[in-house]
Amino acid sequence: MADAAEEVVRRRVDVALAGRIALNELSSEEGVAFNADIADRLAESLRTGNHAADRAADGSTSIVLDENGRLARLSPDGSRTIV
């Protein structure tokens, strides 16, 4: 029985992640599973993504740590300014 209930939670969380149901329609258990899924996805994205490059491609500026651990403004043209 628990497997069937877990499957229902998983399906509803997947539907919420796809934006097809509102978060306030999730039960407490589903909300916990949703939050855990979002946290996992965010951690994976931070681990594997190149967010400064993605933002530069969109024409946005990023604040990054340079090789010396200083905050630097990274402009879309690739220039860096210590802040």
Distances in Å between the alpha carbon of 8 and those of 18, 32, 51, 71? Answer: 15, 14, 34, 46
Helix, strand, coil: what percent of the chain each, to 5? Answer: 55, 15, 30
At 63-72, the pLDDT tens digits run 988 899 999 9
At 19-45, the pLDDT tens digits run 999 999 999 999 999 999 999 999 999
Domain ranges of the chain: 1-49, 58-83
CA atoms within 13 A on the CB side of 36: 9
Give the pLDDT band of residue 5 (cuts 50, 70, 90).
confident
Could you give the angle at which helices 2-17 and 28-48 cross, rounded to 10 degrees? Answer: 60
Taking the model in full, what pTM does it have?
0.64
